Amino acid sequence: MKRLVAMLAASLFAGAAQAADQGLATGDRGVTAAAQPTYSLDQPPGINRLDFDFRIEETRAWLNKEGDFQVKGWVAHVGLLCATYRMGVRFGIGSPGCLNVNWVTDPYFVTSEFQCNGARVQHSGGDTYAELGEQIGRISCAERVVSCSGNCR
């Protein structure tokens, strides 16, 4: 019975959130960051934008109320042989911040860079997903996701 109540509460909390795979693909690496909201001066005040500081490889991301988002940061390749790295972000609702997160999106990969010889490359990219903007008041967490194919270590 407790499990049923918990499942119902989770589904109500998720509301209009779309279904997303809660785990990352094998080999993908993720780092989470809690949302830092910026409010408008309009009446009534509302959230204009969420900023995320991942505190790793100088990576930051943002999401605005129109659904525009961007992620930017460095990705290091170890070794001489080459690999292709993709960087993306996914958004979720946690309580509080990034605890007990229900991911409302799968990772959106917005960069792809071919890296060799121990290179450290800055990845930067973004996209628009209007449904995210509609949930900006509920989103409390983001995860930077790095995917690698080729000679990955």
Q: What are the DSSP calls for 46-105, one per residue?
A: -EEEEEEE--STT-EEEEETTSEEEEEEEEE--SSS-EEEEEEEEEEE-SSTTSS-EE-S
What pLDDT is recorded for position 8? 34
Dist. CA 59–CA 29, nearest whole Å: 14
Tell me what the mean pLDDT of segment 126-147 comes to.
95
Give a yes or no: residue 8 inside a domain: no
Give a yes or no: residue 52 inside a domain: yes
Give a yes or no: residue 75 inside a domain: yes
Question: What pTM, to 2 d.p., does this model score?
Answer: 0.81
What pLDDT is recorded for position 85? 96
pLDDT digits 0-9 by tens, 41-70:
877 888 999 999 998 889 999 999 999 999
SS3 of 120-132: EEEEEEEEECHHH
Q: How many distinct structural domains can be found in the chain?
A: 1
